[in-house]
Amino acid sequence: MITAIVLLKASRGKIDALAQSLLEMREVAEVYSVAGDYDLVAMVRVKEYGSMAEVVPGKLQRLEGVEQTNTLMAFQCFSRHDLERLFSIGYEPEDGE
């Protein structure tokens, strides 16, 4: 599985609608609302590298409300943890972690 982390800047007042549009894409596994230079982070997963070119510039960047994107291609995953737990506010490791 090929993974890309896509950082997105949304148009003013469009963050929630854009997040929902992203979640409607089958290639988007998760969407996170974040603080900082970007408004949203989308985790995109495809089977082949060539498909990523179809998804990010072909679909994702054309969604209403997308002002700017920055795509980070993942080479390797080192985490054994559930990403949703790690990004949850108030995350506390379980005993033994």
We report the CATH number of the domain holding residue 58 as 3.30.70.920
Q: Is residue 92 part of a domain?
A: no
pTM summary value: 0.79
Q: What is the pLDDT of residue 92?
A: 60
Statement: residue 95 has pLDDT above 80 = no
Q: Is residue 96 part of a domain?
A: no
Q: Is residue 18 part of a domain?
A: yes
* Residues near 45 by beta carbon (within 8 Å), at least 6 away in sequence: 1, 2, 3, 4, 27, 29
Q: Is residue 42 part of a domain?
A: yes
Statement: residue 28 has pLDDT above 80 = yes
Question: By residue range, what is the domain housing residue 24?
Answer: 2-84
For 49-91, the pLDDT digits (tens) are 899 999 999 999 999 999 999 999 999 887 766 665 666 656 5
